[in-house]
Amino acid sequence: MNTITTTNFNFPNQKSVYHGKVREVYNINDDLLVMVATDRLSAFDVVMPKGIPYKGQILNQIATRFMELTSDIVPNWLIATPDPSVAVGHLCEPFKVEMVIRGYLAGHSAREYALGKRMLCGVALTEGLKENDKFPIPIITPSTKAANGEHDEDISREDILANGIVNEEDYLVLEEYTRALYQRGTEIAASRGLILVDTKYEFGKTKDGQIVLIDEIHTPDSSRYFYAEGYQDRQDRGEAQKQLSKEFVRQWLIANGFQGKDGQQIPDMSDEYIATVSDRYIELYENILGEKFVKADISNINDRIEENVLAYLKK
């Protein structure tokens, strides 16, 4: 099936383009950013060789919907969505940290805990926790924002401030916004029969100095969800949780000998497996937003995007 894995647009007044792991961001006249959500799949900070049909549309539509659902508590960069796979927003200077917040011992935190670590990003973890147990209160475990091809690294609040990565006044705002967004996301997830296990947020500053939410929010790439029904029973029995996130891809890669470490080869993803991943992303969309996913025309994605963005920019 057709996917969008790379773009090479040349929009009017375009100043530059940034190619991220899964998004491509076009700077328009040092004023607007046109963010294209590609169908690339990233896991363990490595981009997989094949795209996932509809993934970009799914991520873009979930993120923009949650931007709208949280704009009353945290300002964000979004202005418009001229195409199912495109968001347009204000040019911002991004903070060089990702604000990760965790309500449960899952994923990376569970793997670190299993290694015997009881301190994560400067936050002490209690003894006796089982994987997927709920924390008494959500914990913020930031990571550095890595350049292309590099791994994000855990970092503590103290090190962020000591190294001048973010000043204290701004960092306190980032923490406040992170907790407010996670609380709202938790409430919305609960209304869908889901648990928002953990997630990450990215922030930037506009030209006038306002701190705003940027990039994605509450998508299956940036967040982990469990099904609420049966959660406690599964914990009590020591069973794995039913979850909605990209973790199923990570587990498949781990089972096939890949965790992004030096010398490891990315396992081949057959067309059949790619189709199942696409189906899972659609399932994620429909559960997270509580509505049917409508597939956009993908007969010629690049032309569609270019036409829609040009029409928007001419307004």
R_g (Cα) of the chain, nearest Å:
19
By the 8 A CB rule, do 280 and 54 touch?
A: no
**Measuring CA to CA, which residue among 190, 191, 287 is closest to residue 244?**
287
pLDDT at 44: 85
- CA–CA distances in Å: residue 166 to residues 97, 106, 211, 243: 8, 27, 12, 33
pLDDT at 246: 78
User: At the fourth CATH level, which superfamily is domain 14-92+271-314?
Assistant: Phosphorylase Kinase; domain 1 (3.30.200.20)
pLDDT at 150: 56
pLDDT at 120: 96
Give the helix ranges, DSSP H, for 105-163: 108-114, 157-162
pLDDT at 146: 63
Q: Rounded to 10 degrees, what is the CA torsion of 237, 242, 246, 248? A: 70
pLDDT, mean of each 10-residue run, the chain (315 residues)? 90 94 94 96 87 95 97 97 98 96 96 96 95 97 74 90 97 98 97 96 96 93 92 96 82 91 90 91 92 96 96 94
Name the residue type at position 298. Answer: I
pLDDT at 147: 58
Percent of the chain with pLDDT over 90: 82
pLDDT at 65: 97
**Hey, which residues does 121 pair with through a beta bridge?**
none
Task: Find all residues with CB under 8 Å of 281, minimum gap 6, and list them.
Answer: 52, 54, 55, 58, 220
**1.10.10.10, 3.30.420.40, 3.30.470.20, 3.40.50.720: which CATH number matches 94-245?**
3.30.470.20
- CA–CA distances in Å: residue 279 to residues 218, 266, 296: 19, 21, 15
Instruction: Enter the DSSP assignment of 282.
Output: H
Q: Where are the domains of the chain?
A: 14-92+271-314, 94-245
